[in-house]
Structure 1
């Protein structure tokens, strides 16, 4: 920023692949020099960067204000992501993913990963992914809950939900009983333990898309 402050757009995951990363940077550079209306969104991240929402103000009377995060997501140049936070402040970004995902544009160029495909997920260890499948098992423990997308957890994805996040999900009606057999879309950084896993700290990173066709049926 012109002030010298270091900031990132909140609730976004910057693309990890090319050409999407370069395209996302080019999109933002298109607003260079434009005044920004900036709002803080939570505390700084672990690298001391402020999390912000930024709207580029019109350059002329013919222009409209542009929400930078929304523009990136709608163009398929970033994913919505709560990151280290347990809250996705901008739930509207999830909805904006629908069109580029359907069109397989940008970061959605490939099909959403099949949560049953353990080898494919394992090959992406350390990377941010979006995966989809039907939940076949829910294991509730004292401090966490396990959502399994395959019977054998070594062969497909397991989502690990911490106690506080599970409580929020239950308040939204997502319980062990209501989740079994349901299509779910999840996102986060893959780790490999006995099999591929995602640790979820935000309930917003688990979608139960009613009425959508299962991509991994």
Structure 2
């Protein structure tokens, strides 16, 4: 696969429309698609303080949260140090869909250190210091992130150097240890069942102990529109990413198509 150009292409105020697609498809996109990531400029500033592994504060008081990525595992100190090494004290340029703050008053943005062609998100992903969050709607921007994460995974950098970087559904206890944290889980779907308004992708036969991914009814049309009806996952190996909860056994609620990657095989 050719290298990915990560400089954003600005197109006035337009945010290119896109439907959600699986990470498997995103990772296969080439240079032209990734380079076509269209982002509006949202301003600039100098980084004064690192707030956490995904957020920092500018000298003018604005708090910026990195779009499209999550911290790795449960080691918040390490992830925070990685962000600090990239941006602290640096002039940065902000790009994104809009500059409206989230409910916590933070501006969500793709961030570029002045003079760099690569976003901060891409740099962290390439070093294995972050995970894709799957909430980037623009497919070419998502492809850019997917390619960066794949680079680190192939080279076993950062989190990917650890054998437990991806949790195995055959060890639900390991997944339970990550409750409340963004986690990547991999395994074979044994059955797909609907109960009320929720579809369960079951990775084991004991619902009180084994891992399951849950898809709310309102999300099903998005999967069907992407050619990934829930039943198509039965007997497939898939990778699921999201925040782990416990409802009997460990669970990840799937709210976006990009949270599931079909790996193939049985």
Scaled to the shorter chain, the TM-score interval is 0.7 to 0.9
Using a 3 Å threshold, how does the CA distance of structure 1 residues 12 and 41 change in structure 2: closer, same or farther? farther
Q: SS of 1:159's equivalent?
A: strand
Q: SS of 1:8's equivalent?
A: strand
Q: Normalising by the residue count of structure 1, what TM-score does the alignment of the two structures yield?
A: 0.82
Q: Tell me the matched-pair count.
A: 202
Tell whether the 8 Å contact from 2:87 to 2:113 is kept in structure 1 after alignment. no
- 1:134-181 CA distance string (max 9 Å, x none): 111111345221111112223321111122322211111112332111
> Match of 1:53?
110
Q: Normalising by the residue count of structure 2, what TM-score does the alignment of the two structures yield?
A: 0.68
Structure 1 residues not aligned, in runs of 5+: 59-63
- Post-superposition offset of 1:8: 0.6
Distance 1:177 1:161 in 2: 12
- Post-superposition offset of 1:25: 2.2
Tell whether the 8 Å contact from 1:100 to 1:108 is kept in structure 2 after alignment. yes
Tell whether the 8 Å contact from 2:67 to 2:110 is kept in structure 1 after alignment. yes
Distance 2:228 2:92 in 1: 42
Using a 3 Å threshold, how does the CA distance of structure 1 residues 99 and 27 change in structure 2: closer, same or farther? same
Distance 2:131 2:215 in 1: 20
Distance 2:234 2:59 in 1: 50
Task: Please identify runs of 4+ aligned residues in structure 1 that moved more than 6 A.
Answer: none
Is 1:187 the counterpart of 2:263? The answer is: no
Distance 1:25 1:12 in 2: 16
Aligned runs of 1:22-41 on 2, under 5 Å? 22-29=81-88, 32-40=89-97
Tell whether the 8 Å contact from 1:133 to 1:184 is kept in structure 2 after alignment. yes
> Match of 1:158?
212
Distance 1:53 1:147 in 2: 33
Tell whether the 8 Å contact from 1:73 to 1:97 is kept in structure 2 after alignment. yes
Tell whether the 8 Å contact from 1:88 to 1:204 is kept in structure 2 after alignment. no
Q: SS of 1:96's equivalent?
A: helix
> Match of 2:133?
81
Using a 3 Å threshold, how does the CA distance of structure 1 residues 41 and 169 change in structure 2: closer, same or farther? farther
Distance 1:42 1:170 in 2: 31
Distance 1:116 1:44 in 2: 40
CA RMSD of aligned residues (A): 2.3
